[in-house]
Amino acid sequence: MILVVITLSEVVRVSVLRRRVNRVATISVHTSPLDQPGTGDAGGMNVYILEVAKRLAALGIEVEIFTRRTARDLPPVAELTPGVLVRHVTAGPYEELDRADLPGQLCGFLSGVLRTEAMYDPGRYDVIHSHYWLSGQVGWLAKERWGVPLVHTMHTMAKVKNLLLAEGDKPEPAMRVLGEEQVVEVADRLIANTAAEAEELISLYGAPRERVAVVNPGVNLAVFQPASKGAARRRLGLPQDAHVLLFVGRIQPLKAPDVLLRAAARMLVEDPSLRSRLVVACVGGPSGNGLAHPSLLSDLAAELGITDVVRLAPPAPQPELADWYRAADVTVVPSYNESFGLVALESQACGTPVVAAAVGGLRTAVKDGVSGVLVTGHDPHDWARELAALARRPDRLAELAANAVQHATGFGWSATAARLADVYAGAMAQLHRTPVAVNS
């Protein structure tokens, strides 16, 4: 027998041909894809996991999502859609826990994940995809036990957040920083939402460049699409002649909804005539540090003297959320950091331009000067200036709106899932790569 050495590309090609991704174990410890985004810990990550799982199933790849059981009446297993199961793992009390309390539940969670796999024949899962550092810790140990690759998506990074803290926000703890560093070291592939995030993984965490893959998130173009602004306003009870500024997201310092309210107050000082038609709509619920002051926005509106123009609404399911986007003239995303910014993409898909902070993934999600406007910094005066300029230029708003739809159509979840499937296959090929022997 002669051992024939072939090139890396040939090995990977042969391995991919021999191995197919059949089933993915998705780990999401701290939040379930079944939770309503916009409150608690539920947000863009929930949307990401849910939409990707459905699209992977459409490609013939089964997905089992492991998440912590937060209520006694939740079933052990729920079928989300054919090919997608949600497994509720008992780990700690049947209640929502602060993320700071979850590291103490990881052993119990891991035990539940391993017990599930042990009920089946070996080789049930081909790859693990963990989301957020807590899940990465579980995925790390499951990877070692099962002998399968670990693919990890950070979603947010402690070192980045600590560099861009909002006023009054708490820095991420050293435990999280260490946990993220460990996951980066052991993961077979790291998924970055944008090229900028990939560079942060490499420069701040020392991630090997060859293990970082850029996969843009997407938007549900079947739900988020242009439709009648007037009809949307009627359904939501908004005046037809209003100028609507919209914020969507969790109410917490990181998301900076206060910047929008302060900018709106400034706009009214500079142009009192705007008061009769300005509506500042905020759709979301308190989360994270925002739970310490759940009445923040209503209190701030009263302090600024703009209670009459502010409308607060709870988190909304996607069809209603699409109406909010359509009803708005501008969606405002003033976050201090976003790994991507799904809200910006959803808004643009509905034909509503975005004014967003020039940070993180928002620089990819929004095409500056084309589908929206990026603002440097968080000075309310700067935001008021940009928003007032658009309020005076309906022709400019119409131009941005048309471009916004075109820009958003380039980000579909099906493309995201297809790219992830390629990353999974590549990670499997790398892990199982062996020299090819031929008889002579």
The Cα 111–Cα 295 span in angstroms is 39
Kindly state the tokens that stand for 395.
């022709």
Strands, sheet with 212-214, edge to edge from the N-terminal-most edge strand: 77-81, 84-89, 62-68, 23-28, 127-131, 150-153, 189-192, 212-214
Q: Is 36 annotated as a binding residue?
A: yes
88 strand-pairing partners: 67
Q: Is 346 annotated as a binding residue?
A: yes
Q: Is 99 annotated as a binding residue?
A: yes
Q: Is 328 annotated as a binding residue?
A: yes
Decide: 361 and 374 in contact? Cβ < 8 Å. Answer: no
The Cα 98–Cα 381 span in angstroms is 35
Q: Is 325 annotated as a binding residue?
A: yes
Decide: 278 and 264 in contact? Cβ < 8 Å. Answer: yes
Q: Is 37 annotated as a binding residue?
A: yes
Residues 6+ apart with CB under 8 A from 207: 184, 190, 201
DSSP state letters, 44-85:
HHHHHHHHHHHHHHHTT-EEEEEEE--STTS-SEEEEETTEE
Decide: 337 and 164 in contact? Cβ < 8 Å. Answer: yes
Q: Is 352 annotated as a binding residue?
A: yes
Q: Is 44 annotated as a binding residue?
A: yes
With CA atoms as reference, report the closest residue to 232 among 351, 353, 333, 403.
Answer: 351
Degrees (nearest 5) of the Cα angle 435, 436, 438? 140
Distance from first CA to last CA of the chain, Å, rounded?
6
Binding residues for UDP-N-acetyl-alpha-D-glucosamine: 36-37, 44, 250, 255, 338, 346
Detail the residues annotated as belonging to a binding site for 1D-myo-inositol 3-phosphate.
30, 41-46, 99, 132, 156, 176
Which segments are annotated as binding site for Mg(2+)? 325-326, 328, 352
Q: Which residues are annotated as a binding site?
A: 30, 36-37, 41-46, 99, 132, 156, 176, 250, 255, 325-326, 328, 338, 346, 352
